[in-house]
Structure 1
Amino acid sequence: MDLSRALEWWEEWQLRVLVLGSLGIQCHLAFFASSRKTSIQPMSRFFIWLSYVGGDTLTIYALATLFNRQRKRHYHSADGSNVIEVLWVPILLVHLGGPISISAYNIEDNELWRRHILTTVTQVTVALYVFCKSWSSSADKRLLLAAILLFILGVFKCFKKPLALKRASFNSIVDNFQYSTPQMTTEHREVELEKYIQKARDFVQLNKQDPQTSVPSRLLTPKEKMNTYKHREELSKPDKLFVDYAYVYPDRLDKLKSLWLLDKENTYDTLCVGLSRTFNLIYSRLFKVDGGNRAATGCRNRCPSPLVYLLHLLLPIIPIGLFHGSHKEAYKGIDIKVTFFLLYITYLLEISATLTTVSYHTEWSDRIAQHNLIASLASNRRHSRLMGIAEFLQCKGLLDTYFCLKPCYSSKDITMLVRRHVKNGWLNRIEDVESYWRFSDTRGHWALERNGCEGIIWSTEMPFDESIILWHVATDLCFYSQGTCPDSECARLSRQISNYMMHLLCTNPEMLLPGCRRNLFIIAYRELEAILQGDDATSLLDEHQLVQKIFSMMEPKKGFVRKARELAQELMQNVDERMWEVIKDVWIEMLCFSAGRCRGYLHAKSLGYGGEYLSFVTLLMSHAGLETFAERQQRVLLRLPKQERVRIAKERIQEEAASNQGTDPSTPQGMVHVKEEENAAIPPAASEACSGLAEQEERAPTTSASQHGECVEIVVLPKEQSVHPLFIFSE
């Protein structure tokens, strides 16, 4: 009897539960989907994925339930509930379109846009069938008009999702970017590369002094605000790096200049904005790429004109008003409440989506994942019973990944180390094509040679994944050894980079370097276990005790642990007080080496699950004019002798300078030029709004900065492209 009552209740409430459940999922996605860019718990990320996948399934099931109800002729009730349910059909179509904050959960979802179009066409057809079959000629005309208006909105929203997936697919992004075609023949490529390097060297030598730390926006002049804004916009656009595109040399030089003239704070913030915008381009409907390679956002993108913008906001209000004025007494009270709830909440979600488009967030997570070999062994010994159960259930790897070591939040500090390394490279190491390539290929050699550690260069000449294991264990041995008093900041950052590289080797070896072997971690782990054979399970439960055990071995066996102990002893005995500086520099070079060899597609894919810090480094190196993965795959073959190539490049630079001097005789020599086409990064609305400011400043087209008594002038934007202070985003 109870079962039959439950079935009767479900038969009556089934559709209401489905539509309200669909609405709840849309609310969850609207409020939490954008949090994927920040540091959230794995369980929260799982619920976002479940809502993304289950939302479409629940909506389709609700439409199928409506379809089946209309096929049952005996379902027509006297209170007209089947008529009011027709208003729920277009609302379900709106839900099927999903919120603006998430169009794809994984990058593979974008490639399935054809399947989503087929699903959309099918569901729209079902919705129209239900509408035509269920509506009677005697029904309220106001409800009919409300349903038609909602259908227009629902079909429009329903088709936006597959179209957004198509626009964010890999080939579509590549096609939508505007590419510059270099005007040169194949035999002149090496000269063009040399010319780019010589121009870059001239620029960095002229601007050796690091820009001052950011000052409050209110203390900057309009020109300084405009200059900073221009450089930030140039670097924060969704980068072609993520589609494995090799920038032409003039574009590389422009990016290098923009990055070089930004201070530390603006550099890091710009990288965060760039990653955030790339995420929005691939995984949401907040961005698209226009023909000029600018990522547009806000109402300008979603609503091409004010009329369309107003229609987008006002169209849902009309059905709500029509439903208010209809003869609601003919329907069940619970159905009226459900309808009001659906209409109002769905409309509020649309308004919040529009406001989100206008005031989008550009934050990015500063989380850096960590994984440590010795800490994993110590943790397993402390929780031996739990790990035994996990191994029996085949989930020990999951516990090792998520519970052995907490992430760190030193993204900004490590990024500044990479920035300093890149700047030192341009100032002190890069002189020509050969040195430009050697700098990109170094993975610790330069740091060891610079500090007189030629005796341990062997540790960086073995396969890269083996070097990672070796230096990782050696770093921990130095960190926990007795008698060592390292600089806390330097030691902390060195160990965090070491743990992050080990994380890449264990969980994402393809990003670390194609061909890296994940099983090396297991091999090294078993070596450590072999050292502890015969010891009491309750002893050696922390990293300090394990390190002392490793150093106390009388006859170490062959393997990673033996080599790591030799390396650590060499560092502690011979390098002395400079030990942590050497270790830090080696890890920075290894980090940059890995970043320059990771495909852009893998970076874009990692953004979907929170991103990898390696994307920060890759983006910084790309902006700094260094080689990326795509550029390395297309290295030019050097045929000319070095001296001749450098001579030809310098002659062409002088010819271009003379030509520019002839075109603009008022430009002093040594002035840094900024291409006028870069001004496209400034919104057109901003240019129009600040025309008055430009007229006031047309008499002062340059700004100067004193550097060691030397005045360096930087040409700012032409007056017709100036930016009003209202359009400057202060931090």
Structure 2
Amino acid sequence: MAGGGLLHLWNEFTVEIMVLVSFALQLFLLACGGTRRRSSSAVLRIALWLAYLSADSTALYALGHLSVASRSRGHLLVAFWAPFLLLHLGGPDNITAYALEDNRLWLRHLQTLIVQAMGAAYVLYKYIFASGGIHDGKLLMAASICMFAAGLVKYGERVWALKRGNLSSIASSFDKLDDTVWQPSRQLTEGDEEIDDEEILLRAHSHFEICKGAFTDVTMKPWGFINTRGGFSGGSGEVRATPTVGNSLSLPHKFEEEEGGNGRREEKEEEKSSTLLPPYLSKPKMLTVLDSMAEMELSLMYDILYTKAAVIHTWYGFCIHLIPLLSTAAAFMLFQLSIGSTGDGYYSKVDVVISYVLLAGALVLEAMSLCKAALSSWTCSFFLDRSGWKWLLDGITFLRRLVGSASRRLWSGSIRQYNLLDMAVSDKNVTVSWLAKKVGLKDWWDKRCFSDTFSGNKYCSMEDLKVLVLKDPGILLLLLIGADSSRGGSALRAHSCEECVWTVVDMDLDASILMWHIVTDLAIRRPMGDANVSRRLVKATKVLSDYMMFLLVFKPEMLPSHTRRKVHLQVRKELERCWIDCSEALGLPEEAVSRPRADMLADWLLSLRNEDSQHHPSHHIEGGREENLGYAKVVYDAIWIYESLRNTLDTVEGMEMIFQVWVEMMIYVAEHSSRDSHARQLSHGGEFITIAWLSLHHLKYYSELQSFLEKRINFNIPASV
């Protein structure tokens, strides 16, 4: 009986239900569509994916149902909803594409626009235009035309945004330029370390061409500072350059532990600086500003790729954006006049209420959209260097500072971690693991349950990690001389470790990551021979090591070469076997283990190395398994490397070397992975590797600018003639 009632309700009010569901989905997408830029939550992604797909399919189904169903005179208002469904297909401004591939399907959406526009026009003609008996039908007809125009423009806006949001379209915009000579309207200068987030965001807009160029393999050059009169000029017509002294490929600062009253550790920078950068960009605070600027630029790139920003944040796009608002407002007034002239009882009360909900909702959403566009940072950027509009720019930025808009464009500040030794010694729920194995999800279950997140701790904050990476002049030098194909070899050679270069040159990338991950763990989990080794540097090194393992295991698409799945699985199984041997040898029950298990496993691995012989650690494996190790031999290669470098790794210089190896490897991965892989991660919260990569592109630009300005000083060429 209950089932029959629900079926009758569905048959009687199918269109009403679908239209309200379509409107509710628009509200959900508007509320949550932009949150994925800062969140990597799988639950949120699934919910948005379902809503994104359901929004289109629901509107299409309702339009199709309207075109074939017949309605009594009292329900003719249902036809008035057809343009609203077209409006819903246009979607909210903050999500046009769920995935990067959606932008490539813009022609399919264009075809859908044409077909659905014809369908909506047919519904209006069938029920309203051709119904001469409708009392005061001209008013409803005019309201329908207004809403049809709004829906057509809204959906056309989405198709246009999808086309503009394609990386190939962004790349083609550079083809119109004669060259890649360019200069930002607002440079980073001395004293910018104290600017707030809103000012950083304006500088992000000014430097956005560097970001777009990085995603399309176009390098922006600062040679535009040569003016047509033979002189050199910066953004303000004045150039300031200060010669620097010294050059080093080691870390530019040392870390020293100072146990004060609260045990706080401080870092002391060396007095000399690198000639690669302007002096002010070597300051930690300035590097933090530059990193924040890169994060905001990536949020702007997200806007271009996944929202309507490429369309609505232009002067003509903003004017077009007015059409849906004005059309909806006109339709609202015309509809009120139409309802008032027909009298009560002419239309179904339910249909009238739904019509008012749709009209009021559309009007409010369009007004919000227009206000948000007008008060956005894109608008501030538009007026930034236009004389006579400073009062408007100041007014908008004042309002934005009140609500802290710019800070919401910053990265979430968390790095995913995955450690093989921790995984090998962890307790596993036998029942759940068995069920996961039966359904083919054991690897997925293990990875999800045994990964972690780093957001900073008392030894190393996220700001410390960012500065450590960006302050490495060796990495910047590799980018400048075009030797960014190094993935650790330069760091090893700089520290006279030529015998270990084969681990990053002759081995595949996935095997190199696995080997140095184990070497790093062995070095960190053992007591340091040098008490001056900074805990901050140790923690930063471990974070990078675990992060690269996370990318290898969880996001192999971020790696430039083909990643072999069974490599890390075989290494993990070998570590698990070693832990079993370790537990049996110790003869202790699991609950009696007092030391961290991973530390005990590290000791056990090192015990396999017979220091009185020159045999490889795998020589001590019993049962003749040495010849059948396969990729698991990486474990014993790592032990060999650690023992070969033990005296070095116990010192500050040794830990700096490992850190530099990881930075080189990370930048190598970032530079050689596909640009699509970086772009896809922007819709999943973004990745630290992308931020570091883009920050280094900015440092490269300013380094080339510094070199160019020093040539001006050396040749005594005036800034202007």
TM-score tier after normalising by the smaller chain length: 0.7 to 0.9
Q: 1:509 — aligned with what?
A: 556
SS state at 1:369 partner: strand
Q: Summarize the alignment of residues 146-225 of structure 1 with structure 2, pairs less than 5 Å apart.
A: 146-177=143-174, 180-181=177-178, 214-215=193-194
Q: 2:356 — aligned with what?
A: 340
Q: Summarize the alignment of residues 666-685 of structure 1 with structure 2, pairs less than 5 Å apart.
A: none
Contact kept? 1:505, 1:518, Cα under 8 Å: no
Contact kept? 2:139, 2:335, Cα under 8 Å: yes
Q: Deviations over 1:289-316 (max 9, x none)?
A: xxxxxxxx64635324xxx565543331
Which of 218, 228, 231 is the matching residue for 1:245? 218
Shift of the alpha carbon at 1:234? Answer: 3.4
Shift of the alpha carbon at 1:150? Answer: 0.8
SS state at 2:455 partner: coil
Q: Deviations over 1:79-125 (max 9, x none)?
A: x11x2112211111100111111111111111111111111111111
Q: 1:239 to 1:391 in 2, by over 3 A?
A: same
Which of 441, 451, 459 is the matching residue for 1:395? 441
CA distance in structure 2 between the aligned counterparts of 1:472 and 1:407, rounded to whole angstroms: 17
Contact kept? 1:26, 1:95, Cα under 8 Å: yes
Contact kept? 1:113, 1:166, Cα under 8 Å: yes
Q: 2:28 — aligned with what?
A: 28
CA distance in structure 2 between the aligned counterparts of 1:403 and 1:107, rounded to whole angstroms: 28
Shift of the alpha carbon at 1:268? Answer: 1.2
CA distance in structure 1 between the aligned counterparts of 2:720 and 2:105, rounded to whole angstroms: 53
- Whether 1:621 and 2:696 are equivalent positions in the alignment is yes
Shift of the alpha carbon at 1:248? Answer: 5.3
Q: 1:496 to 1:566 in 2, by over 3 A?
A: same
Which of 117, 129, 134 is the matching residue for 2:127? 134
Q: 1:272 to 1:451 in 2, by over 3 A?
A: same
Q: 2:305 — aligned with what?
A: 282
Contact kept? 1:453, 1:575, Cα under 8 Å: no
- Whether 1:96 and 2:59 are equivalent positions in the alignment is no
Q: 1:301 to 1:607 in 2, by over 3 A?
A: farther
Shift of the alpha carbon at 1:607? Answer: 2.1
Superposed CA RMSD in Å reads: 3.7
Q: 2:538 — aligned with what?
A: 491
Structure 1 unmatched runs, 5+? 184-191, 197-208, 219-224, 289-296, 628-648, 666-731
Q: Summarize the alignment of residues 180-579 of structure 1 with structure 2, pairs less than 5 Å apart.
A: 180-181=177-178, 214-215=193-194, 232-237=204-209, 238-247=211-220, 250=223, 261=281, 263-287=286-310, 298=313, 300=315, 302-304=317-319, 311-325=323-337, 326=339, 327=342, 329=344, 330-360=346-376, 362-379=409-426, 381-409=427-455, 412-422=463-473, 436-438=481-483, 440-463=484-507, 464-482=509-527, 487-533=534-580, 535=583, 538=590, 542-553=597-608, 555-556=620-621, 559-578=633-652, 579=654
Q: Deviations over 1:41-75 (max 9, x none)?
A: 101111111111111001101111212213xxxx4
Amino acid at match of 2:94: S
Higher mean Cα deviation, 106-115 or 248-257?
248-257
Q: 1:700 — aligned with what?
A: none
Shift of the alpha carbon at 1:127? Answer: 1.0
Shift of the alpha carbon at 1:276? Answer: 0.8
SS state at 2:700 partner: coil
Amino acid at match of 1:168: G
Q: 1:421 to 1:251 in 2, by over 3 A?
A: farther
CA distance in structure 2 between the aligned counterparts of 1:480 and 1:212, rounded to whole angstroms: 41
Shift of the alpha carbon at 1:23? Answer: 0.7
Q: 1:68 — aligned with what?
A: 68
Shift of the alpha carbon at 1:446? Answer: 3.4
Shift of the alpha carbon at 1:272? Answer: 1.0
Shift of the alpha carbon at 1:471? Answer: 0.8
CA distance in structure 2 between the aligned counterparts of 1:655 and 1:479, rounded to whole angstroms: 47
SS state at 1:625 partner: helix
Amino acid at match of 1:467: S
- Whether 1:581 and 2:647 are equivalent positions in the alignment is no
Q: 1:36 to 1:3 in 2, by over 3 A?
A: closer
SS state at 2:436 partner: helix
Q: 1:167 to 1:574 in 2, by over 3 A?
A: closer
Q: 1:314 to 1:532 in 2, by over 3 A?
A: same
CA distance in structure 2 between the aligned counterparts of 1:392 and 1:455, rounded to whole angstroms: 45
Contact kept? 1:235, 1:259, Cα under 8 Å: no
CA distance in structure 1 between the aligned counterparts of 2:713 and 2:655, rounded to whole angstroms: 47
CA distance in structure 2 between the aligned counterparts of 1:516 and 1:6, rounded to whole angstroms: 52
Q: Summarize the alignment of residues 112-123 of structure 1 with structure 2, pairs less than 5 Å apart.
A: 112-123=105-116
Q: 1:446 to 1:283 in 2, by over 3 A?
A: same
Which of 73, 79, 82 is the matching residue for 1:86? 79
Q: 1:509 to 1:248 in 2, by over 3 A?
A: same
Contact kept? 1:182, 1:248, Cα under 8 Å: no
| TM-score normalised by L of structure 1 | 0.72
Amino acid at match of 1:151: F
Shift of the alpha carbon at 1:210? Answer: 10
Contact kept? 1:476, 1:495, Cα under 8 Å: yes
Q: 1:210 to 1:4 in 2, by over 3 A?
A: closer
CA distance in structure 2 between the aligned counterparts of 1:28 and 1:388, rounded to whole angstroms: 38
Amino acid at match of 1:606: Q
SS state at 1:370 partner: strand
SS state at 1:406 partner: strand
Higher mean Cα deviation, 231-240 or 394-403?
231-240
Amino acid at match of 1:127: A
Amino acid at match of 1:303: F
Contact kept? 1:417, 1:588, Cα under 8 Å: no
Q: 1:201 — aligned with what?
A: none
Amino acid at match of 1:588: V
Q: 1:585 to 1:609 in 2, by over 3 A?
A: same
Q: 1:213 to 1:128 in 2, by over 3 A?
A: closer
CA distance in structure 2 between the aligned counterparts of 1:546 and 1:364, rounded to whole angstroms: 36
Shift of the alpha carbon at 1:390? Answer: 0.8
Q: Deviations over 1:456-480 (max 9, x none)?
A: 4443333232221111012122233
SS state at 1:214 partner: helix
Q: 1:680 — aligned with what?
A: none
Q: 1:643 — aligned with what?
A: none
Contact kept? 2:558, 2:677, Cα under 8 Å: yes
Shift of the alpha carbon at 1:270? Answer: 1.0
Contact kept? 1:477, 1:568, Cα under 8 Å: yes
| TM-score normalised by L of structure 2 | 0.73
CA distance in structure 2 between the aligned counterparts of 1:375 and 1:252, rounded to whole angstroms: 53
Shift of the alpha carbon at 1:284? Answer: 0.8
Amino acid at match of 1:470: M
Q: Deviations over 1:215-243 (max 9, x none)?
A: 2569xxxxxx99x8885443234412212
Number of equivalent positions = 586
Q: Deviations over 1:232-279 (max 9, x none)?
A: 443234412212234457379999989975922320121011111111
SS state at 2:57 partner: helix
Q: 1:230 to 1:332 in 2, by over 3 A?
A: closer
CA distance in structure 2 between the aligned counterparts of 1:150 and 1:110, rounded to whole angstroms: 26
Contact kept? 2:424, 2:573, Cα under 8 Å: no
Shift of the alpha carbon at 1:385? Answer: 2.6
